Every structure is written in structure tokens, then in C-alpha cells.
Structure 1
Amino acid sequence: MDETPRSDQTTLIEQLKAERDQLLGLLRALPDISFVIDEDGLYVRVIGGTNEAMYVSGKPLEGSTLQDALPESIANHFLGVVREALRTGEMQFLEYELGVEDVTALPPEIREKAADPSKQYFEGRILPLPSYDHPKPVVLWVAVNITPRKQLEQYWRQAAETDPLTGIANRRALFQKAHEEVERARRYGHPLSLLILDIDHFKSINSRFGHARGDEALRRFTRTCAELLRTNDRLGRIGGEEFVILLPETDLVGATRLGHRIVEAIASVEIDETSPVFTTTVSVGAATLEHGEGFEATLHRADQALSRAKANGRNRLETDGPHPTE
């Protein structure tokens, strides 16, 4: 019998073992943590994780399973990824969020040592690990910590959607939310109203008291409005001194009631960081989404009501159409 094929096979296995040992040796020195996990979800080995600012010791996980260590839904999902890597023989990629408190198989004294107990973001790279000394097929799960990248993405996303002066939604974010709420109102047949607000004579505030105090007036205005809103309401700045409030699940009566409260509240807010103390007032227009129309049409009707509020003396609310009974 020709022994060459068997010899070649032995050589290949030895090469694979050598490559495996080199890989595992390298992983031990890396800041990110890696796991050898078998097809049943058993943690066969925990490697690396030398960055103590990101990780606690994962060694106690060895001998436990994904089901032992993690919430059921997460464990089942991870096990599915492990088995898919073994089935296809190809590397799998998975982004996920996980915190030390989620890993219940870790002893309490180890979880308490976590430098950062909050959830962190990882990119899992899961690949079959052939010729590993274990009775069942295993994968190598490299958990690359991508929390800084995710935090940066979140920062820029928030910056793109937030008015930098007041911290509320900017025009772009407000309009996007408005279109979502219009679709939801149509789908479920629920009311949707909005208020458009304009701080009275704001340009004269800037010219008389300076832009710094004008900025403070804008911040005080938004804080006062926000204190009167429900969790699902959305306040956004759409212009220099112009704002919109989206009011889901609210008819014109409810919108009018809130608008009057805002008019009264704003008139009592004093801007008193420097002398002299001054107050501002606001004009408000209210409208409710009508059947078949879009957000822009409702906003236009509210803007017309706002124009009437200004024409009728400011520091007041007007509605689109007959004034509803409060």
C-alpha cells in the first residue's frame, strides 16, 4: 500500500497544529478576549483579554456553556452562529452588545472588579479551529471590542440630529420624526397634532441685550417647554427662534390646552444672568393632521395660525379653524 497520502495527511495535520499553536500564542498577548467554543456551546478555553480596563478575567467560564453564562436569547443566537461557522467552514461576523452583568456564570467577585460595568460593543469573528484537542468540533471566537468606534458613531449621529445651542432636535431630525408619526397616525387612525412656536421680537432681544443673553433666552425657552411635554412628544428647533412640537395621540383640544400652558409659562420666565432682568413671550399656532394630508400641509396650516397669533397682538395661541372648546 502506498503510504504517501497518509504521510501527506500527517504533515498537513502537523502544519495545522503548528498554525493553531502560533495563533493561540498570539491571542494570549492581545488586549481583546477570545474563546474556544465547541458545537454544544461549551467554553473550552478562554484566551487573551489582557486589557483590564475593558475585561475582567474570563477564565471561570471554562467548563460552562453559553446557556449557563448568558441570557437565553443571546446564548441561543450565539450557538447558532457557532454551528453555522462549523457547518460552512467559513468565518462568521457578528456585532453585539454585552455587559459584565449579562455574564452570570462569572463569580460575583469578578463581576464587581469590572472597570467599566456598562455594556460594550463587540465584533465577533468566529471561525472553525481544526485539529484542536477536543472531542467535538470547535470554533475560535475572537471578540474585538469596538466600543470606541460605536461611541464615535453615536456622537456624530447625535450631532447630526441635535441643535447645538439648545440640545433638542434640529430641523432635519424633527422633520424625519414628523414623517414617521404621520405614517403611524395613518396606520392606526390616531390623532396627531403639532404646535409651531415663535419667540416674540427675538431680534430685538439680541440687539438690545446681546447675543449671549439671546442664546440664554433660547435655552430657557426650550427647557420651559420641555418640562410641560410628555415622554412621546417631540420638541425641535426649525429656525432661529422658531420651534415645532409634535404631539402624537393628541387632538386639537389637547394641543390647544398645551399651547395655552406654554404661552403662560414662557411669559413668567425671567432671564436674569445679568442686569437688567427681562422676560420673553411666545406666539403659537396649532393644527391637527387631517385625513389624507402630509406633515408639510399640517405644518403650513399651523404656520398660518401662527401668523394670526402675531397679527392679533402676539403672546397668544391661535388654531387652524374654529377655536376648540377647552
Structure 2
Amino acid sequence: MTVGYFGNPKEPRPNVPAGYHLQPIDVASTSPADGLEVCIVSVTPDDAGTGLRRVRAAVGDMCFVIAYVRDGLGVDWMPRLVELGADDVLSETTADQLGLVLKKAEKAADFRKLMQQSLSRLETERNILQAAIDNLPSPIFFKNRQGIYSGCNTAFSRFIGLPADQVKGASVYDVAPEHLAKVYKEADEKLMQKGGSQFYEAEVCYANGEERHVMFSKAVTRDPSTGEVNGLAGAMLDITDRKELEEQLRRAAEFDHLTGAYNRRKFFKSAGEAEAEARENGAGLAVLVIDVDNFKSINDRHGHAIGDGALCHLVEQLGEHLREGHFFARAGGEEFFALLKDCDVDQAAEIAESIRRRIETSIFSESGVVLSYHVSIGVAALEQDETVSSALMRADKALYRAKEVGRNRVFVA
């Protein structure tokens, strides 16, 4: 085994046991890349610190450095030499122990070599893992127990708007507005104290200004030897498309696709809630059944596109005219239902008449066609213990009486 030696050429070299070869080294031309495993440094009072530091810098941390103390340097210097970079210390008076020290150095060198190999494998595995998560579209991040980012993938870096090397070592206060950072910090700390995992949805804004819906999935990480929580790992799953589909399904379930008004299903659901509320607080509740007069003739004369436009025009007028708290929906065809909260029959009749006049005096124009039309309306106020469905039946009968006597009228049940 070759043992490096650094010292004054005029001084006698220590005698190394058989099997070892003492090779003088030039600090200026030696580097850690040379892979020297053991080195003996001759230490004198004049250059004790300087010599050790120079050699340690030249051979690197993987080399086992033995300080060989010359006369004139007392034993009280030995702990200081270890602090300066020596792994072991020998004096001229204990030179006969050099063989034992070299055996220790060999074992230490072998151990360090194994450690280096392990670190190299870990680095390779880490690089493979990093490359894998960098190719995932979902932002992924890691934090230590203090809430400091210890790593992330490319998608998270893109989300934050900072390079990964700037995210690492940063806190949420470094990458997010203070009011949000405080919320994130408290949530992370709560999770790490409680343990387990955490899932929630949130709207986030990317660094490029793009707003997305995401599902956060976070879980604590633990020290494999102690089981103590040592941080957390998190991922952000983009659910924007799913949320948009959910909204489309919700609208399909609640809204009429042609006019944008609520549909019959949504009307009866809301009406049931309003009915229960009215019974509880004793408030009045009334319904209107609104029907476009002679709607078939509009379709026959101008086409279904104009007829559809007329229905949309009616919905616009109802939306602008009915106050907040009232509710209307397309029941089907050219018929609409309205639910009036806190209204008795006289108030409901007044609202119905104002709707009739508004439609009668409004002008609808589309694709060069200008026309006016009118509606007939049946009115009913819920009687004691009566359901909305029953009141609608009475209002519908009133509507047909209005049509029988000439249309463009309001009749009360």
C-alpha cells in the first residue's frame, strides 16, 4: 500500500512496516482526484497548522491523514492537530506504533471507500428519481421538519416560477405572498404534528398568471430509524378539466340548454326548499305559470330560430324584472314557472301584471326580424298545508282561463 508523505526532505522519514511504501508528495500537484488513501504529515512547531491544512486541502476528506509530531511540539498540541485536520497523531517517541496506526488507517480507508460507493449509489438513485418526477406533469415538492423546501420537480418549479435550485432551501414565505404563506405554513405544521396525510381542493394561480383547480395531496415523511416525522411530501393534481366537466354536468342538470334559465328539475328542488322554509316562518309563497301566446304561429311564420330567440328574450326580461329571492324556470316548450317568496296573492298578481305589460311593450329583434309578442299568466298563492305542485295546478287552470277569454291576461286562481 502506498502511503503519501509530506515533510522536510532534510528530516528523517518515519520507518514504515513491511508492505507499505512511503511516497513523498508535492502538495502543489496533488489533488483529491488522485485517490490517495493514507498520508503522513511531518508537523513542526513552525508549520503545525499551515502544513496540515495544506495537505488536507490537497488530498481531500477521503484520505486518512496522520500527523507525525517532531520534538518540540508537546502533547497538549495533539487535540489541536485533530481539529486542524489530522485523523490520528503520532510522535517520535511513539513511532513504533506506526504499524498499528497504518492498520487503522487501512480500515478507515476501506470504510470511507464503502461510504463513498454508498453515497455514489444514493446519488445515482436520487438522480434517477429526480429524472422520473421531473417527467411527471403534476407539481411535486418535499419539505423538511422546519417547513423548508428540500426538493421539487420541474412542474413545481414552473408553478412557483423559480428554478429548482432556488426553491430548495426556501420557505413558503420566499415563494408565496405573505397572506398565503401563513396559511400554508400553519397547514403544514398542523399536518406534521398530527401525522398521516391530507387531501383538499383549491384554486391556485401559476407564476404565469394561469388559474387552475388542483387537488393537494400531502403526507408526512418519517425517519426510518426513529419513526419521527422529519418532513412532508406533496403533489398537486390538476383537476381543472374535471371541475369544468362537473360544472357542465351541473348546468345540464339544473339549466335549460336553450334559454339558460333554470330547468323544471331545478325548479321543483328549489321550490321544495322554499316551501319548507315558508311553513317554518309563516311567510307567503306564490307561483306563476307563464305561457307565450300564439307561440306556434311565431315558429310557423319566422322559423324555429326566431322562436328560440323569443324565448331567450323572455328569459332576459324575467331575469331583469323579478327581484332577488324570486325564482323562475322553463317548464317546457313556451311555458315557464315562477316562484315568488314573501308574497300573498295580491302582490303576486301585481308582479304578474307588471311582467305581462313589460313583455307586451318590449320589442324583440333578431336576424332582421322585428316583432312583439305577449304572454298569459296564471297566479296562485299557496294555501295552508298546500304544496307547490298543487298550487301550480291551480295556477295552470287560471292560465287556461286567461287564454280562453282572449290571451294577454293575468288570471288568479
Q: TM-score, normalised by structure 1?
A: 0.74
**Equivalent residue for 1:168?**
261
Whole-Å separation in 1 of the counterparts to 2:182 and 2:390: 48
8 Å CA contact retained: 2:222, 2:229? no
1:169 positional shift: 0.9
Cα separation, 2, equivalents of 1:303 and 1:22: 72
Structure 1: which amino acid aligns with 2:265? R
Q: How far did 1:245 drift?
A: 1.4
Contact (CA 8 Å) 2:359, 2:373: kept in 1 or not?
yes
Q: Deviations over 1:122-174 (max 9, x none)?
A: 22222232349xx9621101111111111111112212222111111111122
Question: Cα distance, 1:94 vs. partner?
Answer: 1.6
Deviation string 1:88-138 (CA, Å, 9 cap, x unpaired) is 4xxx352311333xxxxxxxxxx7x5331x4x3222222232349xx9621
Deviation at 1:83, TM superposition (A): 4.0
Superposition RMSD in Å: 3.5
Residue 213 of structure 2 contacts residue 239 of structure 2 at CA under 8 Å; is this kept in 1?
yes
Letter in 2 for 1:63: S
Match for residue 125 of structure 1? 217
> Pick from 32, 41, 66: which aligns with 2:138?
32
After TM superposition, list the pairs within 5 Å mapping 1:42-191 onto structure 2. Answer: 42-45=147-150, 47-48=152-153, 50=155, 56-57=161-162, 62-64=170-172, 70=180, 76=186, 79-84=189-194, 86=195, 88=196, 92-100=197-205, 113-116=207-210, 118=211, 120-131=212-223, 137-191=230-284
Q: Provide Cα deviations, 1:232-279, integer angstroms capped at 9, x if missing partner.
A: 322210110100112223333332222111100111223333566332
Q: How far has the Cα of 1:52 moved from its partner?
A: 8.3
1:198/1:282 contact within 8 Å kept? yes
1:79–1:292 distance in 2 versus 1, CA, 3 Å: farther
Distance 1:174 1:50, change over 3 A: same
Label 1:77 to 1:228 Cα distance change in 2 as closer, same or farther (>3 A): farther
Aligned length: 288
Which amino acid in structure 1 is aligned with residue 171 of structure 2?
G
Residues 71 and 174 of structure 1, relative CA distance in 2, 3 Å threshold: farther
Q: Which moved more, 1:69-78 or 1:283-292?
A: 69-78
Higher RCO (C-alpha 8 Å, min separation 6) = 1
Cα separation, partners in 2 of 1:237 and 1:131, compared to 1, 3 Å? same
Query: Aligned pair in 2 of structure 1 residues 300, 70: CA closer, same or farther (>3 Å)?
Result: same
Distance in 2 (CA, whole Å) between partners of 1:16 and 1:247 is 70
Distance in 1 (CA, whole Å) between partners of 2:268 and 2:294 is: 25
Q: Secondary structure of the residue that 2:257 maps to in structure 1?
A: coil
Give the secondary-structure state (helix, strand or coil) at the position aligned to 1:99.
Answer: strand
Q: Counterpart amino acid of 2:137?
A: P
Correspondence for 1:302: 395
The unaligned stretches of length 5 or more in structure 2 are 1-117
For 2:209, the aligned partner's letter is A
Residue 273 of structure 1 pairs with residue 366 of structure 2: yes
Please tell me whether Structure 1 or Structure 2 has the larger radius of gyration of its CA atoms.
2
Cα separation, 1, equivalents of 2:214 and 2:317: 40
Q: Secondary structure at the match of 2:222?
A: coil
Relative to the length of structure 2, the TM-score reads 0.60
SS of residue in 2 equivalent to 1:168:
coil
**Residue 56 of structure 1, CA deviation:** 3.7
Work out whether 1:236 is the aligned partner of 2:329: yes
Give the unaligned 5+ runs of structure 1. 1-12, 101-110, 321-326
Q: Output the CA distance in 2 between the equivalents of 1:21 and 1:318.
A: 79
> Following the alignment from structure 2 to structure 1, what is the Cα–Cα distance between the partners of residues 181 and 401?
57
